[in-house]
Each structure stands twice: as C-alpha cells, then as structure tokens.
Structure 1
Amino acid sequence: VECARLLAQAIPLLAKITCNAEVINRLCDEIGNQESAADKRQHEGLRALFATEKDPVRLITRKEIYQRLEKVSDRFDDVANVIETIVIEQV
C-alpha cells in the first residue's frame, strides 16, 4: 500500500520532470526501501510459516500468497526503476 501511495505521488511530478527530479528520485528511493523491507518480511513470514504450519494444503496456499505479494512489491520497484531512468535521461 505504501508503494502505491509513493508511486501515486511520483507519477504526476513527471509532467514537470526537470523541476521535480529530486523529489521524484527520493520517492523512487523510498519505493526501493519499501520493497527491501517487504523482502525481509516475506522471508520472516515464510520461515515462521514452515516452522508452525502442519497442514500441507494451508502451507502451500499461504506460501503462494507470500510469493504473490513479493511479486507485487517487486513490480513496484521495477516501475520506480523505470521512472528513475526516465529522470536520468530527461534531466
């Protein structure tokens, strides 16, 4: 959710990219930080899941949920990287 909020702030700033380059880069950096934190939470969650869940169906289902959430946070980071590239090329 935080990555979506940050991205929603960054995208409108692209209209005046030269004036907003510094702010855009800060927002993109924060998206990267959020993605890294999500990676850590995913690893911790999976570790706890495998340590405690005894039902194999629930284990697989919950593991897939963690993996899908990880993909979402990765895509936000990918978008932030593209935006940073655009800023570099335009400024």
Structure 2
Amino acid sequence: MLFKKKTDTDFLNLLIQSAENSLKASHVFRTAMNGDQPPAIYVEQLKELEHAGDNITHQVYKGLNQVFVTPLDREDIITLATTLDDVMDGIEATIARFDYLNITFTDQIMKDFAEVLVKSCEHMVAAFKLLDKKKYQEIREHSVAINSLENEGDRLMREGIRAIFTNPKDPYHDFRLKEIYERLETTTDSCEDVADILDSVLLRYS
C-alpha cells in the first residue's frame, strides 16, 4: 500500500482534474456552438484550458518519474492521462478550425456534437471520481454511456457528410463542414478511448 508523503503525487486527483478541465472546455464549446457570435471568439479561452490540461499531464509524467509505488499500474496512469489530454486537444483543435478556416456559423450537427461532448465529459468526471474511491463496478455504467455517446457521434458525422454530398454547395464550404464534423467525431472517439481504458482497469482491480 502506498503511504503518501507531502511530496507524493496524487495521480488519481490529477486525472480527475484533467477530466474536469475537459468538461469545462466542453461547456465553452457548447456555448460557442449555440451562441450568436462567431465561434472563433472562444479560441483563446479554449487555448488556455488546453494549456492547463497540458500542465496537468506534465504533472502526471513528472510524478511518475519520482515515485516507485502508484495507485494503479504506471502504464494505465500514463494511458489515461494521455487519452484525457486527447479529449481536451480535440475540443481545442475543433474551435481552432473555426478560426483558420474562417467559419462564422454553426449548424445543428455541430450543436448536437457539442451536447454529446458535454455528456461524455460529465460521465468521465463521474467515472474518475469513482475510480479514486475504488468503486470499480460503478464505473461501468459511465463507460457504457460514453460508448453509446460515441455511437451517436458516429451517427452525427455520417448524417452530416451525407447531407454534404446529397446537397452539395460551394466546394470550399463543403470542405470546411467536413473538416469540423470529422474532427468532432475523432474527439468523441477519444472519449470512448478513455472509457475503454477504464474498463480494462476495472477488470484488473475489481
């Protein structure tokens, strides 16, 4: 059992912080998708959250270099930290596309994707809090929910791309939409990656 000193790294708390940071980002992204202003005005706010996420991930890596005994397998901690960072990066990368592709509008697909991301991040936060309390079996309901939300993300991307090719407009306009839809779907994939890793962890520890 790990007896913590003041200098020890609380890895599970850092993972919770990372999940909560992604949840904050998902709320900002949802506001960007549902607001009346161009989404790109939220670029800097999400960039700051992305930097905060990078800092948390760095603390995890630094801590792993300083301790020998960890609450979970070291590889699991690294993978969880990395995939959580992927979720944050995905949200930030999506809003960045609104900026450099000069997209000043949103549509229902984007708004629905934003809801999927918020719900997925809510389940991630809940799951990591349960992990910290060693309530492994209760994590399962959240990982199942995240997997279902990822399926919804797949559906949204297919629906969006089908609409592009069913009712084509200006090629540049269509390219920009496709870029956003595909990046959002990749981000929901990252949420599912977190859930899958949590499932593998609970199989070993429950």
- Note whether the superposition's TM-score is higher than 0.5: yes
Residue of 147, 150, 170 corresponding to 1:55: 170
Shift in Å, 1:10: 0.6
SS state of the match for residue 81, structure 1?
helix
The amino acid that maps onto 1:6 is H
The amino acid that maps onto 2:150 is E
Residue of 1, 7, 13 corresponding to 2:130: 13
The amino acid that maps onto 1:60 is F
Residue of 143, 147, 160 corresponding to 1:32: 147
Shift in Å, 1:77: 0.1
TM-score, reference length from structure 2: 0.42
Q: Is the Cα–Cα contact under 8 Å of residues 140 and 199 in structure 2 kept in the other structure?
A: yes
Deviations 1:10-42 (A, max 9, x none): 11111122xx22220110011000001110111
SS state of the match for residue 82, structure 1?
helix
Q: Root-mean-square deviation (CA), in Å? A: 0.9
TM-score, reference length from structure 1: 0.92
Residue of 188, 195, 204 corresponding to 1:73: 188
Q: How many residues align?
A: 89
Q: Greater share of helix residues, 1 or 2? A: 1
Structure 1's consecutive aligned runs of 4 or more residues displaced over 3 angstroms after TM superposition are none
The amino acid that maps onto 1:46 is I
Q: Percent of aligned positions with the same letter in both sequences?
A: 31
Which of 1 and 2 has greater Rg?
A: 2
Deviations 1:26-73 (A, max 9, x none): 100110000011101110111012222310001111101000001000
Shift in Å, 1:3: 0.4
